[in-house]
Structure 1
Amino acid sequence: MAKSLTKRQSIASFAAGDDESARGRLLNAATHLFCKNGINATGIDAIIDEAGTAKTTLYKLFGSKTNLVQAVLESEGKQWREWFIGAIEAGGGDAQTKLSRIFPALKIWFAEERFYGCPFINAVAEHDKDAKQFRNIALKHKKVVLAHIEQLAGEMGAAEPVVLAHQLALLIDGAIVAAMVSCDPGVADTAALAAGSLLRPAKTRRPKRRDSTTGQLIAF
Structure 2
Amino acid sequence: MDESEARQRVLSAAEELYYRKGYAAVGMDELRTAAGVSLRRLYGLFSSKGEIVKAVLARRHEEWEVALTARVDAAGPSARERLVAVYSYLEEWFCTDSFRGCAFINAFGELGGNDPEIAEIVRAHKASFQRYMAGLVADIGAPASLADQLSILAEGAQSTAAISGDPAVARQARDAAEVLIEVSVGER
Question: TM-score, normalising length from structure 2?
Answer: 0.94
User: Residue 79 in 1 paired to residue 29 in 2?
Assistant: no
Q: Alpha-carbon deviation of 1:158?
A: 0.9
User: Residue 144 in 1 paired to residue 128 in 2?
Assistant: yes
SS at match of 2:29: helix
1:95 to 79, 85, 91: 79
Q: Alpha-carbon deviation of 1:169?
A: 1.1
Partner of 1:107: 91
Partner of 2:115: 131
Q: Alpha-carbon deviation of 1:127?
A: 2.2
User: Residue 40 in 1 paired to residue 47 in 2?
Assistant: no
SS at match of 1:197: helix
SS at match of 2:117: helix
RMSD over aligned Cα atoms: 1.4
Partner of 1:218: none
Distance 2:31 2:107 in 1: 17
Partner of 2:177: 195
Distance 2:46 2:180 in 1: 44
Partner of 2:159: 177
Distance 1:87 1:18 in 2: 34
- The code of the aligned residue for 1:84 comes to L
- The code of the aligned residue for 2:14 comes to A
Q: 1:150 to 1:67 in 2, by over 3 A?
A: same
Runs of 4+ in 1 over 3 A off after TM superposition: none
Deviating more after overlay: 177-186 vs 194-203: 194-203
Q: Alpha-carbon deviation of 1:83?
A: 0.4
Q: Alpha-carbon deviation of 1:180?
A: 0.9
Q: Alpha-carbon deviation of 1:128?
A: 5.1
Residues 112 and 119 of structure 2 are in contact (CA less than 8 Å); yes or no, is this contact kept in structure 1? Answer: no
Partner of 2:44: 60
Q: Alpha-carbon deviation of 1:121?
A: 0.3
Distance 2:187 2:9 in 1: 54
Q: 1:189 to 1:61 in 2, by over 3 A?
A: same
Question: TM-score, normalising length from structure 1?
Answer: 0.80
Deviating more after overlay: 48-57 vs 89-98: 89-98
- The code of the aligned residue for 1:127 comes to L
Deviating more after overlay: 102-111 vs 121-130: 121-130
Partner of 1:214: none
Q: Percent identity?
A: 34
Q: Alpha-carbon deviation of 1:143?
A: 2.1
Partner of 1:167: 149
The structure whose Rg is larger is 1
